[in-house]
Structure 1
């Protein structure tokens, strides 16, 4: 056991495959290193386990209900290692909450890595994903596993049938713009809305879900072939279907239209929907600057530029 332990993670972005992945279709998910999380663990001299993060400072036992998945994971790991002394856990994360960027999985990944580092025990990927997905079940009910994989990876990942399929090369000479709308996403409600459509308009909805899966496959080919024009095209077509699945919002559609009218090759929502964030594809750095400035003028809270070259 060391004096302290440190764990890190990144955010994540779903390029393609929101919601259709729940029904067995493929999805493309990438780490988003422009936002990240660091967790430090060290022995303390208190009589209780202590946690510090942006929205709370105090005993782990007093964590508010919004942190239930974090508390659950911490207790799992304390019991796993049989810690009889008390510890401080300091969480520093700039992954935006409820914006489709994998905040809960990012924190879970960094906490798990920090515990194993503190104990000086090697941590393999399978064990890491197991712990993070246990906490994600508390946070989201029935997670696909995408967030856990992407926040702990440094490569673009393809999922199919809710399982890791393959890593993909990401060497495209273009810029992904990520814009945080300022509206909290609501994954639970979005999933319920799609499920309602599946139950009440089965044929039409299942056709949309299948088509989203096909667009994801075409987008995968576009990435492999380094073809940003086609990738942007499938961003647009995917967003049209996501709108039909009722998981977009007027402001999300407005900022997507702003990105497109400012020169984006394509744009779509990313994540669970009903708020959160959008992504847009720019051909060059100068185009990305122009698009980002227009989005900020439109009212988005923050914009990042991520080169598609991981």
Structure 2
């Protein structure tokens, strides 16, 4: 984040939180499973100053005007992510002072890169700082998740807020979504001559829409039928599938169970020091999201196919689905060639031209001043 991207004004506290991509483990987070995200260099920066009255005013570039709300007001729209954090902190018993907040961000919105979690985590850091409260970083993802689940109404898991808060430069975050245990897994691609190319398909998605919630409900219903706390607890996949009468539900369960195993296999490969080995796992993950979880769209499938044809070791969609971004693991000197191949495929298909950029694992929530 450059100096030019800092919010205007004299502030008592300025914090940044990044967006995230998920290397593997899509939609296993709300099944108490395993995920492997990493924080992006792209950040949301929030500046804040205290006010004496118990109210909060927030402005954000890209949105006209300021939004002001009190402690008992329900806020809709983009500012709900801010009001939700205030609500969650107060519900947890924290004495949060009134504040004026200003937000700037270079995390792409609507691309599956967790721009909402970046806002939540940066706002939380500023509010806690203004209050003089030392809430451990490991505790903050749950608070931010509650803001998004219960206040905003988006049924997300814990992954996004965890990656945004706890990410570390040069590492992927191996997260057990049940115990919340974490491991920082080294992910230094440059040392192996590799890179992650992110391609924004420009096919927008929205987590609050019915399709995302429907997938979650299907998984929860399957867990009840199988008499397990969550699909993470399924140990005999064939036996579990035989107990389910609904073919759609069987596909959903197969994705979650096999995706959990792919996370574990990916972590083992990274621990062994050969990132190229994770390429086939990434591609298998995408195939499972396409065929079993049914959350991809033609644009993201086109990115994956074109990247693989151009020499990527693996490629997969990241994010909630029905649009968003694709990650491609490529040789560092092949980024331009792979991007060109994707652009050509999009032009041939008549799709809106995509955006593409190279990312490296960056730092999670951090104080600027």
TM-score range, shorter chain: 0.7 to 0.9
Identify the range of structure 1 (127-136 vs 90-99) with the bigger mean alpha-carbon deviation: 127-136
Aligned to 2:180, the other structure's residue is in SS state: strand
| Alignment check: 8 A CA contact 1:193 1:247 kept | no
| Alignment check: 8 A CA contact 1:104 1:139 kept | no
The change in CA–CA distance for 1:103 and 1:309 in structure 2 (over 3 A counts) is closer
Match in the other structure for 2:68? 60
Distance 2:361 2:285 in 1: 19
Match in the other structure for 1:147? 160
The change in CA–CA distance for 1:75 and 1:204 in structure 2 (over 3 A counts) is closer
Deviation string for 1:210-254 (max 9, x for gaps)? 222222211111211222332111111111111012100011101
Match in the other structure for 1:36? 43
Aligned ranges for residues 8-27 of structure 1 at < 5 Å?
A: 8-27=16-35
Q: 1:204: Cα distance to partner?
A: 4.5
What is the TM-score when the length of structure 2 is the normalising length? 0.73
| Alignment check: 8 A CA contact 1:8 1:114 kept | no
Structure richer in strand, relative to its length: 1
1:71 to 72, 78, 83: 83
1:165 to 168, 171, 181: 181
Question: Is 1:176 matched with 2:196?
Answer: yes
1:114 to 104, 109, 126: 126
Question: Is 1:104 matched with 2:137?
Answer: no
The change in CA–CA distance for 1:216 and 1:39 in structure 2 (over 3 A counts) is same
Deviation string for 1:168-204 (max 9, x for gaps)? 2223322111111112223341341464485732445
Q: 1:21: Cα distance to partner?
A: 3.4
Q: 1:25: Cα distance to partner?
A: 3.0
The change in CA–CA distance for 1:257 and 1:107 in structure 2 (over 3 A counts) is same
Question: Is 1:257 matched with 2:257?
Answer: no
The change in CA–CA distance for 1:215 and 1:47 in structure 2 (over 3 A counts) is closer
| Alignment check: 8 A CA contact 1:5 1:116 kept | no
Deviation string for 1:235-274 (max 9, x for gaps)? 1111111101210001110111111122211101001111
Identify the range of structure 1 (177-186 vs 236-245) with the bigger mean alpha-carbon deviation: 177-186
Distance 2:357 2:135 in 1: 31
Question: Is 1:210 matched with 2:257?
Answer: yes
Aligned to 2:125, the other structure's residue is in SS state: helix
Aligned ranges for residues 152-301 of structure 1 at < 5 Å?
A: 152-155=165-168, 156-167=172-183, 168-172=185-189, 173=192, 174-188=194-208, 189-193=211-215, 195-196=217-218, 200-201=246-247, 202-244=249-291, 245-284=293-332, 286-297=333-344, 298=346, 299-301=352-354
Unaligned runs of 5+ in 2: 1-9, 223-243, 347-351, 364-369
| Alignment check: 8 A CA contact 1:6 1:118 kept | no
Q: 1:3: Cα distance to partner?
A: 6.0
| Alignment check: 8 A CA contact 2:167 2:362 kept | no
Distance 2:361 2:55 in 1: 45
Match in the other structure for 2:238? none
Aligned residues: 305
What is the TM-score when the length of structure 1 is the normalising length? 0.86
Distance 1:309 1:132 in 2: 20
Aligned to 1:88, the other structure's residue is in SS state: strand
Aligned to 2:315, the other structure's residue is in SS state: strand
The change in CA–CA distance for 1:96 and 1:162 in structure 2 (over 3 A counts) is farther
Distance 1:68 1:307 in 2: 30
Question: Is 1:306 matched with 2:359?
Answer: yes
The change in CA–CA distance for 1:80 and 1:45 in structure 2 (over 3 A counts) is closer
Q: 1:300: Cα distance to partner?
A: 4.5
Distance 1:170 1:4 in 2: 35
Deviation string for 1:266-298 (max 9, x for gaps)? 1010011111111110122x2112222333453
The change in CA–CA distance for 1:261 and 1:116 in structure 2 (over 3 A counts) is same
